[in-house]
Structure 1
Amino acid sequence: MALKVIGAGLGRTATFTMKFALEHLGFGPCFHMAEVFADGRRQVPLWLDVIAGKPDWDEVFKGFHSTTDYPACTYWRELAEFYPNAKVLLTVRDADSWFESVTETIFSEAMQGGLVGTPRGDMMKGAIFDHFGGGDIRDRAFMTDWFEKRNQDVIDSLPPERLLVFHPRQGWGPLCEFLGVPVPPEPFPRVNSRDEIQQAHEDRKDLPSDPDAVEEFGRNYIARLKVKAFGG
């Protein structure tokens, strides 16, 4: 199963919202970091192979038609080459706003500290943090500059007809035109706010460490946000 849409936007650029939007438009299931946690025993070893330079992309994305978020967005260039017919979606936001969001959520010590020394932590390090080139992720100036240059690299590297640079406040119109599908009647979704992700982290801290419980939590979080996105 080949990917049809590759999400190049970094985590905390409405990537969970885009997961549900793409699925609603018929490009699902859509892969997201949450899917790694929901199927960790299978997915984490596959991503460790990616980090080691031995990617099996078809196995990683088995059953999926699109991607958003980490860890896939780190490898947007490789994926664009491997799936030459896929369109690429670059979700964006203000660089300072992005820095504040990742600092308070997915890059925070509270959320990353417990993963250090675990396979998931190794995956996060190799697929995310090692790609900042040794820069200090707590340094606003460095991170906002890196964010803007990285996004510009995506723009400069792909033909315009293959790439959509998109902010979720633009709504369905540009996305549907780019993908060649009708605009749905439902409002454009908005999920996984800073408060929601912080609350999910608090809830997860009380989980037992066995893989079944962790994966079930991941699946339930996806299901809960999907209900918020479109109901039902």
Structure 2
Amino acid sequence: MGSPTSPSQTQKPLRLIVAGLSRTGTASLYLALQELGYTPWHMCEPVDNPKLMYTQWTDAMKRKFFNSAYPYDREDFDRLRGKYDALLDIPACLFWDDFHRLYPEVKIILTSRSADSWFKSVNTTIIPWLQKPLLNIVQYFEPTRLGPEFCMVKTAYRVICNHDYSSDFAKKRFMEHNDRVRRGVSPERFLELQLGDGWKPLCEFLGVPVPKIPYPRVNNSNEFNQGADQADRAVLKGLLMTWLACGTLIPAILLGLLCWKTGYIITF
């Protein structure tokens, strides 16, 4: 990221916003955009300072959705996005209307799928992760990545469905979000992509040649859960090592027991 206080003078112009919610093919599109020469932000992107970026996204959501008197302006968003010229996934997708208004040159893609398949996907990946008892405890003791990330994702799902993951309500909010995007974006700046559409419509919309490699297909439910599990184990191991190095033995022992009881086997 650039400076936390002001946008970089050499910052790339923002070129693309992907307004589709998580689990609509955004991870595959993230890799596709990298292949096309973009520098995209996605939740799977390893950032230099996750605490700063995640905290800023949470602040932006609170100011837009829960304190409308002080929404982010273009300078705020430039400061937040840093080096990235394409933004995908939560929470960026929740600000599609702000980006549409503040950046007249930006194109907007809506990634979508059926409400039923989206609901099934999100409830076998993101929602179970958010509801893990151990992570809901550890988040308060890990301020570098997990704590800010948990706060950001939970705030995003408060916006999306107010943490009501019942079938009818969540599907209704998913469809309402997509309909708002379809109605709200200028047609010349808009493309809707369904799962499986591949390179052709994307490259035609962006005005670039079609690459001579297959379109990426990544981050199915199993891949998501395996990646999240590896990341969580790394966080837990780091916290344990920090506490042991500081001689904070009782919390370290308690965390070790909780890890063992909940199936997080930590190896050193």
Into which bin does the TM-score normalised by the smaller protein fall?
0.7 to 0.9
TM-score of the superposed pair, with normalisation by structure 1: 0.82
Alignment of 1:25-174 (within 5 A): 25-26=36-37, 28-35=38-45, 39-53=49-63, 55=72, 56-109=76-129, 113=133, 114-115=135-136, 117=140, 118-126=147-155, 128-132=156-160, 134=162, 136-137=164-165, 139-174=166-201
Counterpart in the other structure of 1:7: 18
- The 8 Å contact of residues 2 and 83 in structure 1, kept in 2 or not, is answered as no
Displacement of 1:193 in angstroms is 1.1
CA–CA distance in structure 1, aligned partners of residues 176 and 102 of structure 2:
23
Q: 1:64 to 1:132 in 2, by over 3 A?
A: closer
Helix, strand or coil for the counterpart of 2:109?
A: strand
Spell out, residue by residue over 1:193-229, the C-alpha distance to the aligned partner (whole angstroms, 9 max, x if none): 1111111122233224448x9xxxxxxxxxxxxxxxx
Measure the CA separation in 2 of the matches of 1:141 and 1:133.
11
Residues 60-83 of structure 1, C-alpha deviation per residue, up to 9 Å, x if partnerless? 111111011111011111122222
More helix by share: 1
Q: Please state how far the C-alpha of 1:37 moved relative to its aligned partner.
A: 6.2
Moved more, 45-54 or 76-85: 45-54
For residue 17 of structure 1, what is the aligned residue in structure 2?
28
Correspondence for 2:223: 196
1:79 to 1:178, Cα distance in 2 relative to 1, 3 A:
same
Q: Identity, % of aligned pairs?
A: 34
Q: Which amino acid aligns with 1:131?
A: V
Give the deviation of 1:135 after TM superposition: 6.1
RMSD over aligned Cα, in angstroms?
Answer: 2.2
Residues 164, 51 of structure 1: alpha-carbon distance in 2 compared, 3 angstrom cutoff: same
CA-CA distance at 1:3 after TM superposition: 1.2
Task: Give the secondary-structure state (helix, strand or coil) at the position aligned to 2:211.
Answer: coil
| Runs of 4+ deviating beyond 6 Å | none
CA 1:141/1:199 → structure 2, altered by over 3 Å: closer, same or farther?
same
| Alignment TM-score, normalising by the size of structure 2 | 0.71
Structure 1 contact 135–142 (Cα < 8 Å) conserved: no
Matched residue SS, 2:231: helix
